[in-house]
Chains A and B, each alone.
Chain A
């Protein structure tokens, strides 16, 4: 790790001001991606702006139609939240599947969506549920937020403050873990809302999270795992690595999608 200046603002406004005026500043939320990278000397921000001192960034609120999770809420808090479990159980299950206990107790939803790791879980939920990502400057639809590998619509001094998820009629998330890292090799989030069915895929795409529209079409006839039988995603545009080549990932998208739908429809 190289030397850096550490800042711990207590409000979003302070944090944004710091980001505006400091050179080579990075935001640290849970730090579970950034800090290991810094320790390996692969990242060397001159300034680190830690959001852990900002009380207004914590908490979960449920309304009639949506659940809002503030940015510094940890994965463990989401997984254990009675409101999330009741309103969007698939989201609580997704949070429970992230990393290991240490990661879940430090890692945050804001950090996850802002980092947009192509194998992260939350981007799939955001995209499938049609979430809205709130920042200190504006509100951004998930459709416009995720822009490729580790790329988002956020500008330099913009800080994610909350993610609002519309409550779906049915939803399910199923992930096939990378055998080593336990990140999603393929993760599929399916959601059925009053006027829309979405299938979002993480881990597999060469440019990050994406929607599988053919599956969405197939599910319109009937929202059931059976509707996806025989449907397969083409391998073009998918990742290949030592754990899974594109053909295997393509196959797994189908399997995980069917299982996610089965989970969504299996709830009483």
Chain B
């Protein structure tokens, strides 16, 4: 390991510009002649649009255009798409209703896009939007997924019972048989609360049209600009792919919400040509609450069957997933193939069956949010495991140990083949770091002060490094999930790495450079990472699903292999030796068995001046590209232990200690990895204790601002104890697994397991707000009061 290579805690290169205010985000950009867009949004959760009178708005000062769904239809602009086909149990394809970028005849949630105003200033656009007259026929709204199925209020014609799919996975007969012979059955009803993503930088877009070249540019904070370009051209039909450039510059957080191709960005590109001016839109925070794709929102009944010896026999799960008013870009995959295949957790479970109904409601679309399906699965499994251990009277750590998978590879009954792991090692380290042995003493100390102390585990697993293209194709994905890279060595030996991954907080500019520094033996400062521009990077699949390390860096690794191979050819000419005798190590090409050597930079220069070889013998230059398609998912796993102290007088939950022991495989930069754990745990704690999107019966979002939606704050979190164990991932050359989502996946179950341990009963839902916990603490006391 060098000071800047793999495994070094290198300080983030990008932070200099971020902390000095010189980062460049879309809202920082101003194009010559730029006009401003504002969207008139539906105030109703469900309504037919009888008519839209835009004339008064068009007459307002500064207005350049007022555009509606009719204009989109007239220009034959297609609707937004969902790129993952799910089939129901009966073999029928999912029922995807139309998703026009501007409403066509109907609005389906509060915030739905009714019209776009483009004006000289944002204030003028807002003034004009107020002058648009919309005649709505208000319809009954349904916000709860279970109620929507039985409501008789169809949101889309194609799905009269609002059910998009009735999907299942696993062997139902085997599961039923296992339950019939079980010694003990645990039953739980669980809600996985709806979350609003809240990246610090809201969405934004600048659409531009160049009439000279008949080409478009879209600047937008996207996690996957090439996928955005592909969807905008191939499906929505805004522009041919080669006539559309998508740029995602510095991006201030995504958490999944910036994967998707939304209405506003789409319409800005289209409108730029219509008005002949660059069109800029920046989402305000209220719009983000209303219209960014939300996360989670599952209602689940889960059962676990256990045998005589405390071995888990089977799991049976039935989930209703609220998908919102429209199918967002990857909405259908999240509660299906990103969820049910993780229901085996870290455990050797012979039989699993899961059925999932995906349901339309009059709420914002729901799609992937940090963890995407895997937090929901972990919550089900780890709540079942904890409660089962309590019900059969076994220590929860011991119950886990008894059921952990011990041999790898391990084939689960739900698709996945776990390749490597050591779950006992993570648990042992976590128990030690958490001082599990001393918990009883701490609980008694708390009790003396009138506080209830509890401890909760979460032995999570995730499937990351998303994903082998062939495998996801067979499950319904509309795209492949490989990654691309290009390593361009300049004549001076400095290097540009072009990657299809996209960094929006992950620190790729540092970690990817570490890989290059490590393998080519060059200073880290001579490496620049280029990403987020479809004109610079040929193609890429973007960043989500903890895939940039395992997939994105593996592509760079392969391209570096090619650079070294080509460098050896050049070095052979330079040092007048046979190519087979050239070795490359520590930034130097050497001739085996001699003291002859040539530095990497000298070889790069020779490759470009091409004086030592002829064009017939070798192509000049030193630039190589690679596409890497993984052979398996990666399986990061670990144990998080949460210890809480509940104040029964107020219901306030204080997290007194958090222990995270994760196995992410090989670590590229342990400091950045630890930061990812911190961020993930913060979001997971947010889900468990604070966050929850609430719609009222009429479909109004009650929690549409920070006045009512609580994000986790520094005071809500303890200092985390982070430990690592390592089993290298066998399926990629670096042995990395991915770390971006782990905390958000692990945390909710750990928190709720700790609170229920403190309370002595299982009756608490997320978010466990002070009021909810106080009420649950009252219930816990009641039997004592009756005595």
CB distance from B13 to the nearest CB of A (A): 30
CB–CB A242/B694 < 8 A: yes
Verify if B725 is at the interface (C-beta below 8 Å from A).
Answer: no
Verify if B492 is at the interface (C-beta below 8 Å from A).
Answer: no
- Interface 0/1 of A224-268, CB less than 8 Å to B: 000000000000000000111100100110010000000000000
Verify if A176 is at the interface (C-beta below 8 Å from B).
Answer: yes
CB–CB B769/A181 < 8 A: no
Verify if A180 is at the interface (C-beta below 8 Å from B).
Answer: yes
Chain A residues within an 8 Å CB radius of B708: 180-181, 242-243
Instruction: Give the distance in Å from the alpha carbon of A41 to the alpha carbon of B708 in the complex.
Output: 19
Verify if B690 is at the interface (C-beta below 8 Å from A).
Answer: yes
Chain A residues within an 8 Å CB radius of B694: 242
Q: Given A179-B769, A181-B708, A248-B774, verify A242-B702 contact (CB < 8 Å).
A: yes
In the complex, the chain B residue whose C-beta lies closest to that of A100 is B713
CB–CB B710/A179 < 8 A: yes
Instruction: Give the distance in Å from the alpha carbon of A65 to the alpha carbon of B165 in the complex.
Output: 73
Residue from B649, B703, B769 in contact with A255 in the complex, judged by beta carbons closer than 8 Å: B649
CB distance from B653 to the nearest CB of A (A): 11
CB–CB A251/B709 < 8 A: no
CB distance from B694 to the nearest CB of A (A): 6
Q: Given A180-B706, A180-B707, verify A251-B770 contact (CB < 8 Å).
A: no
In the complex, the chain B residue whose C-beta lies closest to that of A179 is B710
CB distance from B543 to the nearest CB of A (A): 30
Verify if B771 is at the interface (C-beta below 8 Å from A).
Answer: yes
CB–CB B650/A41 < 8 A: no
Chain B residues within an 8 Å CB radius of A153: none
CB–CB A181/B707 < 8 A: yes
Verify if B123 is at the interface (C-beta below 8 Å from A).
Answer: yes
CB–CB B650/A179 < 8 A: no
Q: How many residues of B contact A (CB 8 A)?
A: 20
In the complex, the chain A residue whose C-beta lies closest to that of B651 is A248
CB–CB A244/B771 < 8 A: yes
In the complex, the chain B residue whose C-beta lies closest to that of A3 is B123
CB–CB A245/B706 < 8 A: no
Verify if A1 is at the interface (C-beta below 8 Å from B).
Answer: yes
Instruction: Give the distance in Å from the alpha carbon of A245 to the alpha carbon of B769 in the complex.
Output: 12
CB distance from B125 to the nearest CB of A (A): 13
In the complex, the chain B residue whose C-beta lies closest to that of A247 is B775
Chain A residues within an 8 Å CB radius of B774: 248, 251
CB–CB B771/A243 < 8 A: yes
Interface residues on A, range: 10 to 19
CB–CB B771/A176 < 8 A: no
Chain B residues within an 8 Å CB radius of A252: 650
Verify if B126 is at the interface (C-beta below 8 Å from A).
Answer: yes
In the complex, the chain A residue whose C-beta lies closest to that of B770 is A179
CB distance from A203 to the nearest CB of B (A): 14
CB distance from A32 to the nearest CB of B (A): 13
CB–CB A180/B710 < 8 A: yes
Name B623-666 residues within 8 Å CB distance of A. 649-651
CB–CB B123/A1 < 8 A: yes
CB–CB A248/B649 < 8 A: no
- Interface 0/1 of A23-67, CB less than 8 Å to B: 000000000000000001100000000000000000000000000
Name B684-741 residues within 8 Å CB distance of A. 690, 694, 702-703, 706-710
In the complex, the chain A residue whose C-beta lies closest to that of B716 is A179
- Interface 0/1 of B758-782, CB less than 8 Å to A: 0000000000011100110000000
CB–CB A248/B706 < 8 A: no
Chain B residues within an 8 Å CB radius of A248: 651, 771, 774-775
CB distance from A31 to the nearest CB of B (A): 17
- Interface 0/1 of A176-189, CB less than 8 Å to B: 10011100000000
CB–CB B707/A243 < 8 A: no
Chain A residues within an 8 Å CB radius of B770: 176, 179, 244
Instruction: Give the distance in Å from the alpha carbon of A180 to the alpha carbon of B705 in the complex.
Output: 9
In the complex, the chain B residue whose C-beta lies closest to that of A252 is B650
CB–CB A181/B706 < 8 A: yes
- Interface 0/1 of A101-138, CB less than 8 Å to B: 00000000000000000000000000000000000000
In the complex, the chain A residue whose C-beta lies closest to that of B767 is A179
Instruction: Give the distance in Å from the alpha carbon of A252 to the alpha carbon of B774 in the complex.
Output: 10
Instruction: Give the distance in Å from the alpha carbon of A40 to the alpha carbon of B771 in the complex.
Output: 30
Q: Given A41-B126, A180-B708, verify A243-B650 contact (CB < 8 Å).
A: no
Chain B residues within an 8 Å CB radius of A244: 770-771
Residue from A3, A40, A41, A180 in contact with B709 in the complex, judged by beta carbons closer than 8 Å: A180
Chain A residues within an 8 Å CB radius of B651: 248
CB distance from A102 to the nearest CB of B (A): 13
CB distance from A79 to the nearest CB of B (A): 18
- Interface 0/1 of B380-403, CB less than 8 Å to A: 000000000000000000000000
Instruction: Give the distance in Å from the alpha carbon of A90 to the alpha carbon of B702 in the complex.
Output: 34
Chain B residues within an 8 Å CB radius of A181: 706-708
Instruction: Give the distance in Å from the alpha carbon of A53 to the alpha carbon of B649 in the complex.
Output: 46
CB–CB A245/B771 < 8 A: yes
Chain B residues within an 8 Å CB radius of A40: 286
Residue from B123, B286, B690 in contact with A179 in the complex, judged by beta carbons closer than 8 Å: B690
Chain B residues within an 8 Å CB radius of A176: 650, 770
Instruction: Give the distance in Å from the alpha carbon of A40 to the alpha carbon of B703 in the complex.
Output: 16
Chain A residues within an 8 Å CB radius of B649: 255
CB distance from B200 to the nearest CB of A (A): 16
Instruction: Give the distance in Å from the alpha carbon of A43 to the alpha carbon of B707 in the complex.
Output: 18
Instruction: Give the distance in Å from the alpha carbon of A181 to the alpha carbon of B649 in the complex.
Output: 21
In the complex, the chain A residue whose C-beta lies closest to that of B774 is A248
CB distance from B235 to the nearest CB of A (A): 35
Instruction: Give the distance in Å from the alpha carbon of A248 to the alpha carbon of B651 in the complex.
Output: 10
Chain A residues within an 8 Å CB radius of B703: 180, 242
- Interface-centre pick from B286, B708, B769, B771 (highest chain A CB count, 10 A): B771
CB distance from B727 to the nearest CB of A (A): 40
Instruction: Give the distance in Å from the alpha carbon of A135 to the alpha carbon of B690 in the complex.
Output: 42
Offer 22 A-B interface pairs, CB within 8 angstroms, sorted by A: A1-B123, A176-B650, A176-B770, A179-B690, A179-B710, A179-B769, A179-B770, A180-B690, A180-B703, A180-B707, A180-B708, A180-B709, A181-B706, A181-B707, A242-B703, A243-B708, A244-B771, A245-B771, A248-B771, A248-B774, A255-B649, A255-B650
Apart from A179-B710, A179-B770, A180-B708: 5 A-B pairs, beta carbons within 8 A = A40-B286, A176-B650, A180-B690, A243-B769, A248-B771
Measured CB to CB, the residues of A under 8 A from B are 1, 3, 40-41, 176, 179-181, 242-245, 248, 251-252, 255
**Which 4 A-B residue pairs are closest in the complex by CB-CB distance?**
A180-B710, A181-B707, A179-B710, A248-B771
